[in-house]
Amino acid sequence: MRKDFLVFGSPKVEEAEIQEVVDCLRSGWISTGPRVGKFQQMFADYVGSKYAVALNSCTAGLHLAMLAAGIQPGDEVITTPMTFAATANAIIHAGARPVFVDIELPAMNIDAQLIEKSITTKTKAVIPVHLCGRPCNMDHIMAIAKSNNLIVIEDAAHAVESEYNGKKIGTIGDITVFSFYVTKNLVTGEGGMITTDNDMYAEKVEAYGLHGMSRGAWKRYSDEGFKHYQVTYPGFKYNMMDIQAAMGIHQLKRLEKYLKRRNEIWQRYNEAFSEMPLQTPAPPEKGTKHACHLYTILLNLEELTVDRDTIQQALHEENIGTGIHFISLHLHPYYRNTYAYEADDFPKALYVSERTISLPLSAKLTDEDVADVIAAVKRVLARYHR
C-alpha cells in the first residue's frame, strides 16, 4: 500500500508563479491592478474572445452572467442537474428558477434533445455544463437557443482547453464562465473568468464585479493621477486580485503542456482499467478537444458486493484521494424539497450519481503516483468483486 496520502486534485505550482506572487507583494499592487489586466488580455488571446473579465471565482462569474443577461425573478433557466451547486445557485440568486433536464450517456453532459421539451414562455436562457472537460453538443444547443430566442451561458469550469468543431469553448455561447479553483487545470487558488464578444455583457460584468463602479476603476490610484469613479450599478465585490493573476499569468503559459501530461495519465488509466468492473470515460466526440479535467469512472455495481461509497472509503484507506463529480442536484435536500423532485425524475443523472468516482488526474502526478492509483483500484475492486 502507498505510504503517504495522495491528495486528490493537488495542483502543480512552479517557481515562476511563486516568484511572480512575491514580486506582486513587493510592488504594492496586491488587489486588482496591472497583473489582472495582463492576465485578462492573455486569456482573451488564448480563447479568441473579444473580452475576458477576471473575477474572484467562477461562482461570481455565473452570478454576474445572469445579471448581465438580464435574468430576472420569474424567469426560468434550463441546465443540467449533473453539476456543482454553483450552477443552479447562480440562477436562484438572480431570482429565477433552475429547470433541470437529464443527461445523455455515456457523455454525461446535458441531453440537447431534451432541452426543447422543457422550454416555456418563462425560459430565458440555457446553461450547458462541459462536464469533466467534455464539450457539450453546442451546434444543437445553439440552434435551439436561436430558434427560441434564448441566451446561452456556458459553464466551462472544467473546460479551459476544450474545443468544439474547431472553436474554442469561450467563443461559442453568448457568455462563458471559467474556473481557476485550486483543483482546476489552470490554478489561481480561487478565481474565475468570463469571456464574451458582447460589448454590453462585458461592461456590465466588469462594473457589477467591482461595486458597480465605472470601467477601469482600479486605475484611480495609479501613477497616472487620481481619477473619480461613478457607480453605475448596485454591484458586488467579485474582482480578482493581482496576487491571483500573478499565478494565472504563468499557469496559462503551461496549459497545453500540462494537458499533454494529463492525456498520458488518462491513457494509462484507460489501458489499466479496460477489463475491470467499471466504465472508463467515453472517448472524445469527433471534432472535439477534451480538456481532461476529471477522470471519472462509473462502477458496475451489479458486479460488486458493495456500493460506491464503500469503494471510495476503501481507496481512502489505500491512501488514494478521490472525488465525486457529482451527486445530481435534484437529490440534494434544498432542490429536492424546493422543487418537489423525485429521485427517478432524472434517471440517467441518478445512475451516474450512484456510481461515479473521480481518480487523481494532475500534471503534478509522477509515474509512481499513477501506478499507485492503478494498483489500489485493482486491489479494492478485486476484494469486492462478486
CATH 3.90.1150.10 fits 255-383, yes or no: yes
d(CA 10, CA 365): 9
d(CA 329, CA 331): 5
Residue 296 clears pLDDT 70, i.e. is over it: yes
- Residue 338: CB atoms within 10 A of its CB come to 12
Backbone angles phi, psi at 280, to 5 degrees: -80, 165
Among the listed residues 38, 50, 146, 184, the single catalytic one is 184
**What is the band of 228 on the pLDDT scale with cuts at 50, 70, 90?**
confident
- Which pLDDT does position 236 carry in this prediction? 96
d(CA 21, CA 44): 22
**What is the band of 225 on the pLDDT scale with cuts at 50, 70, 90?**
low
What fold is seen in the domain 15-253? Aspartate Aminotransferase; domain 2 (3.40.640)
Asked if residue 248 lies in contact with residue 186, where contact means CB atoms within 8 angstroms, the answer is yes
- Which pLDDT does position 190 carry in this prediction? 97
Q: 3-state DSSP call for residue 291? A: coil
Residue 150 clears pLDDT 80, i.e. is over it: yes
- Which pLDDT does position 223 carry in this prediction? 57
pTM of the predicted structure, to 2 decimals: 0.96
CATH 3.90.1150.10 domain range(s) in the chain: 255-383
Pairing of strands 175-179, 192-196: antiparallel
Residue 359's DSSP bridge partners are: 295
Q: 3-state DSSP call for residue 71? A: coil
> Which residues lie closer than 8 Å to 147 by C-beta, 6 or more apart?
none
d(CA 380, CA 312): 9
**Angle of the 58-68 helix axis to the 85-93 helix axis, nearest 10:** 40
Walk across the sheet containing 356-359 and list its strands. 278-279, 295-299, 356-359
CATH 3.40.640.10 domain range(s) in the chain: 15-253
Asked if residue 108 lies in contact with residue 325, where contact means CB atoms within 8 angstroms, the answer is no
Q: Is 12 a catalytic residue?
A: no
Asked if residue 109 lies in contact with residue 140, where contact means CB atoms within 8 angstroms, the answer is no
The number of residues making up the chain comes to: 386
- pLDDT tens digit string along 233-255? 999 999 999 999 999 999 999 99
- 10 Å CB burial of residue 89 (0-12, 13-18, 19+) is middle
Q: Per-residue pLDDT averaged across 208-229, rounded?
A: 70
- pLDDT tens digit string along 90-132? 999 999 999 999 999 999 999 999 999 999 999 999 999 999 9
- Which pLDDT does position 51 carry in this prediction? 98
